[in-house]
Amino acid sequence: MASDETTLPTTEDEWRVRLSPAEFRVLREAGTEPAFSGEYVDTKTPGMYQCRACGAELYPSDTKFESHCGWPSFDDAIPGAVTEIEDRSHGMVRTEIRCTRCGSHLGHVFRGEGFTPKNTRHCVNSLSIRLDPEQHDA
User: Any idea which residues carry the catalytic annotation?
Assistant: 123
Q: How far apart are CA 102 and CA 10, in angstroms?
A: 9
C-beta of 73 vs 104, nearer to Zn ion: 104
Minimum CB distance to Zn ion, residue 132 (Å): 14
C-beta of 3 vs 91, nearer to Zn ion: 3
Which of 57, 23, 21 has its CA nearest to residue 132?
Answer: 57
C-beta of 80 vs 114, nearer to Zn ion: 80
Residue 9 to residues 22, 103, 120: CA-CA distances in angstroms?
Answer: 18, 11, 31
List of residues contacting Zn ion (CB under 5 A): 51, 53-54, 56, 99, 101-102, 104
C-beta of 85 vs 116, nearer to Zn ion: 85
Minimum CB distance to Zn ion, residue 102 (Å): 3
The dihedrals phi and psi of 61, each to the nearest 5 degrees, come to -60, -20
Minimum CB distance to Zn ion, residue 134 (Å): 21
CA atoms in the 13 A half-sphere facing the CB of 29: 12
Minimum CB distance to Zn ion, residue 66 (Å): 25
The answer to whether 5 and 55 are in contact (CB under 8 A) is yes
Q: Alpha-carbon Rg of the chain, whole angstroms?
A: 15
